[in-house]
Structure 1
């Protein structure tokens, strides 16, 4: 997906950090970004920006006081992108980099990043903010499957070329399942790494990883306000343990076959088009809730929210 990055030149440092964090998505072929640094000497500035904007599928606005104050960024680039967004020709994602009055601007009507619109500058570790941005962009691209076309119908001479988002049925091998499980585990562990760092920066809360082994990790949270402590261990199913699910978790400093609770087990399932996660139903033992198809990010969110609730913490 081609992404147009709109920013104030006074926020160039945020642009450079975002580009660094987008590197893996570039390597994966998920995104290619454009900004005005791509304009070559001698080119028309307005024409180059207009051409790049109208051919993009994603518009990332690095929002700050300077961005809002910039007539060109706000009035020209963003206004044009917003119109394309309303016409469903473009996805607009505001990225709040500095505290500003963005909620009362048109940005306030669109889901912003990082999480809860908390400006990058306000995070204890800015890398955690950018990690959250990347995770949400991956989730966006996976859910949309890059299906937001710049032009659904493109005129070619006197004929029309129609571009549709085709779904192709396929089967999934054991290799596919293994790769899906490993990639999911990596995403879940990254989610917890970011969340642990963020939680540890909050008053009265302490959090850390106590163990990180092959196919499992353990973390610990202490809430000094109510003197509650809780361990969590997450592991992927290995050979000989697959009947306990493809991923399980326990509120302890380790998981043994005797401690696995079947309502804390996730399994990989698939339909004719894609693989997904399901969670065991506590009412029906081994039967998963097949109506609820989960991504790795959603699995991580479910486990994390249950984990922090154990020590009296919630989100929102």
Structure 2
């Protein structure tokens, strides 16, 4: 039986003052969520009666991707900066999670721990500085070679394949996967995503056979 791809878990780290912008951004992730490519989580999903700090820590520790929604309030928040950013960078340095700064509002963030990471939008212009905010969010998250669609779709499929191998849902004789990509410009980006996934120590430990792959253009 064919297994559905495993969703990539995304943690949204943001300042409470930016909740309306977080909600706008999340709408632009709806397509990926409906296709079960991603599962986005933030603190508003904590159930009544749950231990808030424990829930946040658990999600932050398990997410595949951590989006840092950067703004003056985010940089100024002791909790965001000292707790969430610190844990995000620890996991980033360990190769356990991707960390992506998303520039919401203009602020000097060049001294932040995540300053060396390529942000979205790639132009470096905050989404709120754009005349059309929806267009800015769409370009940041889904723009050609810049957004989440391509990388996270591939990662979701790779996670599903890795899980299938770990649970013996695919033949043990499998040694090679062929991926055909129509867009020649996408090939280098896809190769980077695949190589990054297979080089991840945690993912490698779940693989029972030494896979090889071929990436070609029809």
TM-score normalised over the length of structure 2: 0.70
Unpaired runs of 5+ residues, structure 1, are 153-160, 171-271, 280-291, 297-316
Matching residue of 1:60: 67
State which of 70, 78, 85 in structure 1 corresponds to 2:92.
85
Matching residue of 1:274: 180
CA deviations 1:162-201 (Å, max 9, x no partner) are 99xx98757xxxxxxxxxxxxxxxxxxxxxxxxxxxxxxx
Q: CA deviation at 1:40?
A: 1.3
Matching residue of 2:152: 141
Q: CA deviation at 1:139?
A: 2.8
Give every structure 1 segment of 4 or more consecutive aligned residues whose post-TM-superposition deviation is greater than 6 Å.
none
Q: Following the alignment from structure 1 to structure 2, what is the Cα–Cα distance between the partners of residues 92 and 116?
A: 17
Question: What secondary structure, in the 3-state scheme, does the structure 1 residue paired with 2:115 have?
Answer: helix
2:95 is aligned with 1:72: no
Question: What secondary structure, in the 3-state scheme, does the structure 2 residue paired with 1:107 have?
Answer: coil
Q: Following the alignment from structure 1 to structure 2, what is the Cα–Cα distance between the partners of residues 99 and 116?
A: 13
TM-score normalised over the length of structure 1: 0.49
* Aligned length, in residue pairs: 171
Question: What secondary structure, in the 3-state scheme, does the structure 2 residue paired with 1:140 have?
Answer: helix
Is 1:21–1:130's contact at 8 Å kept on the other side of the alignment? yes
Structure ID, larger Rg = 1
Is 2:12–2:42's contact at 8 Å kept on the other side of the alignment? yes
Q: CA deviation at 1:142?
A: 4.1
Unpaired runs of 5+ residues, structure 2, are 1-7, 191-218
Q: Considering only aligned residues, what root-mean-square deviation do their CA atoms show, in Å? A: 3.0
State which of 18, 29, 33 in structure 2 corresponds to 1:22.
29
